Structure 1
């Protein structure tokens, strides 16, 4: 069991179309349990994104954040965030565990769209299309007010980020846990099962794709148990 002095810091890595503000309820819940957390703003999304900002740029930003955090770090990647986390985290000895939260766990050569059967393309300019019925795909277990607030914070996502393949897989060398969201409508159960099989440990939560908004206290407690585990 880590002491207050040796507890790792959580680095929270958001998914596509999101910004770090999505983590605020979870950060408050983690702080209430005595955990420190930081976030990273992936350059592939948001008003500052450019066609050149893809998955590799996101991985570089994660690496920059990891270099600034003293002591051990548990990296939590949500959804698409699993890609740049997988690319970046293996290069940093202070990373003690990866947590894939309803996330992709890619192997070398895999890219986001390719995992859904979309062939590679040379046209990587511009933004990727959104998810359509966002309310029911991402936020079905939020109240209408919560969902409206979350949807209002969504941003554009670069097409390039979904087509750049992984060149190194951190989960091969860093202890990893998969948090399976059983009511997820964005990353379907069959896909999550495939991803979870690549990690060393699996936890399950009866929530949607976005438990950091729908159940922040429950998720904070689960992350605390994961970070404290010696498995």
Structure 2
């Protein structure tokens, strides 16, 4: 049975962000679904944290009939890493310009204890949002698509950044898609994480290759699915 690709969005995003990529996956005969993480919410008071994201993502994986390849963008790499470590159905993990943190580390610790200067805190101090998304998150993306994506950005719950990653997988094949022109997550850091992966791909994109280079990312995911299917996992 071919694995299903379960897509995990980044901070402030919603599953909508994967529409172009899911279209490409469907054209390649690959089943996919995109999970909404509760740490991203239009209401800052309702935005939850990493452990809540873990619970939702784990439930989504367990609801799939058959093996799963997790594919995560940006912050989504953190809950995806944890779930891949604990869910036996996960037969592959693909990082798309995503955070591949060490166990016991939080996003905020990795960021040096401070958010980027252009990020905004919500009035209730429970969440944050990028104020420079056009340049940092969506650089190189079609302007019309960028405008729609910025309009759809949510608040990201503070606990998504302060809660620590609880586990990392030891026996799940990893693929890293490096965005070589990423202004948000330095390509040099991505390369360090890619060096620990069994497979890596380089895409000449900014921080959202699933939008600007959807075909290349779909190809990388198709290869990960084919590898997982071939191993009979």
TM-score by length of 1: 0.89
**Superposed CA offset, 1:151-200 (max 9, x none):** 11111101110010012112x22111111111111101122123223322
Residue equivalent to 1:118: 113
Q: Is the 8 A contact 2:103 2:165 kept in 1?
A: yes
Greater share of strand residues, 1 or 2? 2
Residue equivalent to 2:208: 210
Q: Is the 8 A contact 1:62 1:84 kept in 2?
A: yes
Residue equivalent to 1:3: none
Deviation at 1:226, TM superposition (A): 2.2
**Superposed CA offset, 1:71-94 (max 9, x none):** 111000110001111112222111
Superposition pairs of residues 143-182 of structure 1, within 5 angstroms = 143-170=142-169, 172-182=170-180
TM-score by length of 2: 0.88
Aligned partners of 2:52, 2:43: CA distance in 1, in Å?
13
Residue equivalent to 2:117: none
Within the candidate set 16, 33, 39, 1:21 is matched to 16
Q: Is the 8 A contact 2:44 2:126 kept in 1?
A: no
Aligned partners of 2:184, 2:79: CA distance in 1, in Å?
19
Deviation at 1:20, TM superposition (A): 0.5
- Check 1:48–1:37 CA distance in 2 against 1; reply closer, same or farther (3 A cut): farther
Within the candidate set 39, 58, 62, 1:67 is matched to 62
- Check 1:18–1:202 CA distance in 2 against 1; reply closer, same or farther (3 A cut): same
Which deviates the most, 44-53 or 192-201?
A: 44-53
The secondary structure found in structure 2 opposite 1:82 is helix
The secondary structure found in structure 2 opposite 1:11 is strand
Q: Is the 8 A contact 1:105 1:198 kept in 2?
A: no
* Residues 1:194 and 2:189 aligned together: no
- Check 1:136–1:97 CA distance in 2 against 1; reply closer, same or farther (3 A cut): same
Q: Which runs of 5+ in 2 are unaligned?
A: 115-123
* Residues 1:44 and 2:39 aligned together: yes
Q: How many residues align?
A: 220
Moved over 6 A (4+): none
Aligned partners of 2:165, 2:138: CA distance in 1, in Å?
28
